[in-house]
Amino acid sequence: MEYFYSYLILASIFVVLGLATNLLVGIAGIFSVSQAAIFGVGAYVTAYCLVNEVMGFLPAVACAAGACLLLNIVITLPALRVAGDYFVVTSFGIQLLATAAFLNWNGATGGASGMAAIPPADLFGYAIEDTGSMLLLCVAAMLLCCLAFYLAMNSPYGRLLRAIREDELAVAASGKPVIPAKAAAAALAGVFGGVAGSLYATFLSFIDPSSFDLNASVLLLSMVVVGGARTLAGSIIGPFVLLALPQVLTMVEIPSTMAAGVRQGLYGALLIAFMLFRPQGLAGQKL
Amino acid sequence: MLLLQLLVNGLVTGCALGVVAFSFSLVYSTTKIFHVAHAGVYTLAGYLAWSLARAGMPDIVGLIVVPVVCAGFGVVIQRLLYDPLAQRRATHLVVLIASLGLLAIVQNAIAVLWSPDILHFDSTWRVQTIKLVGVTLNYAQIATVVVSVALYGATLFATRHTGIGKRIRAVASNPFLAELTRLHPRRTYAMVMALASALVAVPGMLVGFDLGLQPYTGTTVLLTGTVAVIAGGVGSLTGAFLVSIVVTVLQNLSLLVMPGQWSVGITFLIFVAFMLVRPRGLFAAA
């Protein structure tokens, strides 16, 4: 049961991240392989605040969300100016830069060995120590984020974002604020990333750079692609399916040294298979 | 003499990176595909050469055989992945995600089939060193410089003065017109992929001789290469090659003032800042 709970917790955290990636890549059409970096910043900020007892859990989450919001706007800024492939390189570059920072900024991040003994989350003085109440917290956070995503996408703002992806020039010509709209999408995605990072750090109570590297960004992208881009349902299905995959793999006999490679390779194969045969994913719209 | 040694080291790495950069540029300017999986071909080449060496072949056999194998791999990628996607009129984003997927498959297959840890070649020629005016170089580094510069010269000559090169440039500049004049863009794309994959195999092996092989380092190499491609102006082989050398020389010189693990991060930081200020690159036309 404990095991199943932790699967559900991780899946709901990744749903929040999937929403962020979907918002940028699927809806606004801003290619990003640096969302794992944002996720990592959220996790590290929270861990730093809690381990050093700077503040409580909720203010730490707010800090993480705020930091990620600002950071995501800053790293998406190039996308507002340069189109297409130049931003792809920038996005990859930011991911590599973040990994370098997580690995080498020993004073703040603990370097390659990561940060351990992160205290559990607490809400209004009530410590959330057992898995059951952590699950409640994560599911609540997930539902809240899904609601925010749903409301934003069904508002005039959501239509504006979609219109920008279809034809940016036409939107600009009709006097709509293109750049603020894109920046707002990045901000919202940043908040999602920060919140997810906070939950992740407090749930595992241990973080290290390997959870926030390029492979993690590819995993996030796979989740959105497999679940289906541009829809709420897609962002929810993707993480639940892809996180179940390692559990299925444990039933096949492979040496533990190979497990990570096989899993990552399989995510890659899924990406290709979906792009070739079903670009809209399980429950999405055409990418 | 440390300064001179760093300068030369940067030059050696830059030559290898330059081949990665201009072969990527060849694919990118012709097919317009952001071929991330190029890093996979680069990595695979080193491991294939390693296995040949383990099977008792001298390293030179690998240097000749592996590019041919990689050329075949390039054609397979084009025929089985990029062509079907193009026929489906897949968007740029879809092709990019597929390429990223292929990269993940190749890198992880290497980690599973060979080893996730660093592998070194057994041969001894590559570690023998010579000293020139206070600078120590091993034979693998010398081979890297000589072969890379030769490849650069040959490719430059080929694209300018041979039929195939002209055909590639024609398709790159206007695929629609090329189709009308029966230049067969799709066949040309396959040719470009073969050529670029064979080219990128060579630095994949040479760097492996010098520093050993790791499954996941190719991504950073390719991205540094793409930085050079963009900063040097897309489509310019010379720009890509020269900027690659400048970037790695600067990275090596930066060791004088800060620890090495930051240099890649700083490169991209500068690039991001550069993109904010001059989004079109240094030499590209406005």
Q: Residue A21's domain spans which residues? A: 2-211
Which range of residues forms the domain containing residue B51?
22-216
- Nearest Cα to Cα of residue B221 among B58, B103, B74, B93: B103
List residues bridging with A123 in a β-sheet: A126
The verdict on residue B48 lying in a domain is: yes
Angle between helices A178-204 and A2-21 (to 10 degrees): 160
Domain count, chain A: 1
CA distance B262 to B282: 24
**Contact assignment for B91 to A287 by CB distance below 8 Å:** yes
Nearest to B275 among A31, A82, A260 (CB): A82
Residues A120 and A199: their CA atoms lie apart, in Å, by 9
- Tell whether B43 is covered by a domain: yes
Whether residue B237 lies inside any domain: the answer is no
The answer to the question of residue A24 being in a domain is yes
Instruction: Report the residue from A25, A96, A287 with minimal CB separation from B265.
Output: A96
Joined together, the tokens standing for residue B23 give: 């072969």
Between strands A126-127 and B135-138, the pairing is unpaired
Give the CB-side neighbour count of residue A145, counting CA atoms within 13 A. 33
> Residue B24 has what pLDDT?
95
A5-52 pLDDT, tens digit per residue, is 889 999 999 999 999 999 988 888 888 888 999 999 999 999 999 988
| A136: in domain | yes
| B204 belongs to a structural domain | yes
- Residue B105 located in a structural domain: yes
Q: How many CB pairs under 8 A join A and B?
A: 137
Residue A230 lies in a domain: no
Say what the pLDDT of residue B285 is.
44
Residue B229 falls inside a structural domain: no
Q: Look-up: residue for tokens 């881009």?
A: A229
How many independent structural domains does chain B possess?
A: 1
Residue B86 placed within a domain: yes
The answer as to whether A277 is a domain residue is no
- List per-residue pLDDT tens for chain B, 286 residues long: 788 888 999 999 999 999 999 999 999 989 989 999 999 999 999 999 999 999 988 888 989 999 999 999 999 999 999 999 998 888 888 898 899 999 999 999 999 999 889 999 888 888 788 887 778 888 989 999 999 999 999 999 998 899 888 888 888 888 888 888 888 888 999 999 999 999 999 999 999 999 999 998 898 899 899 888 888 877 788 989 999 999 899 888 888 888 777 777 778 877 777 777 766 666 554 3
Residues 225-244 of A with CB under 8 A from B: 225
Q: How distant is the Cα of A136 from the closest Cα of chain B, in angstroms?
A: 34
The pLDDT value recorded for residue B286 is: 37
> Under an 8 A CB cutoff, do B98 and A276 touch?
yes
The answer to whether residue B274 sits within a structural domain is: no
> Token pair 């030559």 is at which residue?
B15
Measured between CB atoms, does B47 come within 8 Å of chain A? no
Domain for residue A249, yes or no? no
CA distance A52 to B110: 41
The closest alpha carbon to B231, from A82, A73, A33, A35, belongs to A82
A223 is a domain residue? no
Nearest to B99 by CA among A28, A21, A221, A35: A221
The pLDDT tens digits of the residues spanning A243-272 come to 888 777 777 777 777 778 888 888 889 889
ipTM of the complex in this document: 0.84
Confidence of residue A127 (pLDDT cuts 50, 70, 90): confident
Least Cα distance to B220 among A106, A30, A100 occurs for A100
Angle of helix B38-54 relative to helix B59-77, nearest 10 degrees, comes to 140
Taking CB atoms and an 8 Å limit, are B272 and A221 in contact across chains? no
- Interface contact A90-B271, CB threshold 8 A: yes
- Note whether residue A218 is domain-resident: no
CA distance linking residue A17 with residue A220, whole number of Å = 7
Shortest CA gap B285–chain A (Å): 15
Among all chains, which residue has been given the structure tokens 């993707």? Answer: A238
> Which chain A residue's Cα is nearest to B91?
A287
